[in-house]
Structure 1
Amino acid sequence: MNTKFGCCLIIGSFVPQTEGKDMETDKVKQLQAGLQLLEENGYDFAELTVQFLTQLSEEEFQQAKKIIQQSSLNIPVCNSFIPPQLKVVGPTVSIIELDDYLDLAMRRVREIGGEQIIFGSGGARTIPVGFSKKQGYEQIKQFLCRCESYAVKYGITIAIEPLNKLESNIINTVEEAISLAEEVNLPHIKVLADSYHMDLENESFTILKRAIKDEWLSHVHISDRERRFPGEVEGKEAMNFSKLFLILQEANYRGLISSECNAASLVDENALSLQFVKRTWSTVEGGIANVKPD
């Protein structure tokens, strides 16, 4: 089994900046503890928030980078890209502020060894009431073009994340994300699939076959309903991860898979969930291997 499984560390996810250094020092300590936990539980990598990185002073960032370098886990992917107050869509978009932020964000992600950033950012990309949806869509395309210039500079891939309608009023399905990626058609712009959002939008996992075949799918997030850890929900209420994994394997998906779940249950459910995910993946993999051709 060559597939690598990681877990998101929800540290500094769109949390307002707090004055004083205690809060930031605590965040750095949280990073160290989180990496240690994931390492002990057997994960292959960690996923961090861009917000965590950008909220740190340069001195604190260097401390965080040192902790990451000392860890056996790498951080190839970061999420929580654009803070809600920095609008990508609407009448108050500031190109200067966006450019400054994109340069800082991608530089710091690159410095910790990151290769990919997930563009969900519902608060930043949601179209304001009364604003033209067509114009908002064009603004997102323009934003992705700006991302491309910095992605080239720092060697970062940007993956468009479809969000359910409770979190954003635009780009709600993998199919819509693929269409957007096809329209901008930029080398560093790809697509993410998240089982949680797909479930809420009643989108079939079969769309992933096209996403993989056409080389748009660059990352996968998994969680059960209510952002619970895979394996935490039992019976009929649980998501069908066997079906999801079957489609990914049959379509020859070669990317990473991260659990993005509620931080409240991180310590208690984290290790058991990874065991469930690996067991389910291996069972599906074994089933495919044992299928004899007609």
Structure 2
Amino acid sequence: MKIGCCMSLFDDRIFSLSQAGADYVEIGISELNGHSREEILQRADALKASGLSCLAGNLLFPGGMPLVGEAVDREKTADYLSDVLDKVALLGIHTIVFGSGKARAVPEGYSREKTWEQLRSLCSQLIAPAAESRDIVCCIEPLNRGECNILNTCSESARLVREVDKTSIRLLVDLYHFDLEREPRASLAGYRGLLAHAHIASAKNGRLFPQPGDGEDYASFFRALQEAGYEGSLSLEGSVKGDFLEFAGSSIRYLHTLF
């Protein structure tokens, strides 16, 4: 299993991630919207020279772009998606993550049924064809109820993936959100064929990267992924104590002992 780390493309520490043992980097997609193609290509070349690939990208939509409710502008959303995925392609990214809790949250007083239909339409009519034309897979990321009020669990998110029924729309499991929502590890076996990416951080320890002896049972998570037939990548997504690269390196070395 490849282990990577989530970090801004424009954070210069990114060029030292390979020294920490990372196989790849996962960048934030929405921030690309504020940068030119030339800037992105320069960073891509520098990243490649550092020995890292840019395998994935998260934060697909900015928080200020409503995807559900009465304020949705489908034309604006489509234009944004086309532009930002062209920039994603410059980095060689093949996996994108649709979390974007603020953008997809159900507005107060708005129908959850209408919200669901809007999300299904967004995935099937906008995201799927845009992703397929660029050989990209988009993973729906469940976010805990403290961060969003819909698509909180793998169970709920898998339902959306199945209803959309497109090979370019898959499921992500993030151990942090998964544990906060108290989903059983054994339930991952039910998502065989749907899981295409994973994130990891500790729910018990303020979303810190995993560390030996931190009180979490990561081994059972890896066993559950294996039983689900998962063969994809795993990104550290969370926070650290002390030096970023030292803490990330310790986490990566530890996780490699578990699978």
Q: TM-score range by the shorter chain?
A: over 0.9
Higher relative contact order (CA 8 A, sep 6+): 2
Q: CA separation in 2, counterparts of 1:139 and 1:264?
A: 40
1:233 deviates by 6.2
Q: Counterparts in 2 of 1:236-255, with a 5 A limit?
A: 238-255=215-232
Give the number of equivalent residue pairs.
255
2:194 counterpart of 1:216:
yes
- Give 1:137's aligned residue: 116
Contact 1:69–1:112 (8 Å) recurs in 2: no
Distance change (3 Å), C-alpha of 1:129 and 1:232: farther
- Give 1:280's aligned residue: 258
Q: CA separation in 1, counterparts of 2:181 and 2:240?
A: 23
1:58 deviates by 3.1
Q: Counterparts in 2 of 1:1-294, with a 5 A limit?
A: 3-9=1-7, 11=8, 28=10, 30=11, 32-36=12-16, 38-145=17-124, 146-212=126-192, 215-225=193-203, 226-231=206-211, 234=214, 238-262=215-239, 265=242, 266-281=244-259
Q: CA separation in 1, counterparts of 2:188 and 2:34?
A: 34
Higher-Rg member (1/2): 1
Q: CA separation in 1, counterparts of 2:241 and 2:30?
A: 19
Contact 1:224–1:233 (8 Å) recurs in 2: no
Contact 1:35–1:46 (8 Å) recurs in 2: no
1:44 deviates by 1.1
Q: CA separation in 1, counterparts of 2:153 and 2:186?
A: 12
Distance change (3 Å), C-alpha of 1:48 and 1:246: same
Contact 2:99–2:141 (8 Å) recurs in 1: yes
Measured against aligned partners, the alpha-carbon deviations of 1:151-187 in whole angstroms (never above 9, x if no partner) come to 1211110100000001111111001111111111012
Runs of 4+ more than 4 Å apart: none
More helix by share: 1
Query: SS of the residue aligned with 1:206?
Result: helix
Query: SS of the residue aligned with 1:154?
Result: coil
1:263 deviates by 5.9
Contact 1:68–1:112 (8 Å) recurs in 2: no
**Consecutive unaligned residues in structure 1, runs of 5 or more:** 12-26, 282-294
Query: SS of the residue aligned with 1:252?
Result: coil
Query: SS of the residue aligned with 1:85?
Result: coil
Q: CA separation in 2, counterparts of 1:260 and 1:193?
A: 12
- Percent identity over paired residues: 31
Measured against aligned partners, the alpha-carbon deviations of 1:49-95 in whole angstroms (never above 9, x if no partner) come to 10232221233223222223323111111001100111111111111
TM-score, normalised to structure 2, is 0.93
Q: CA separation in 1, counterparts of 2:202 and 2:240?
A: 13
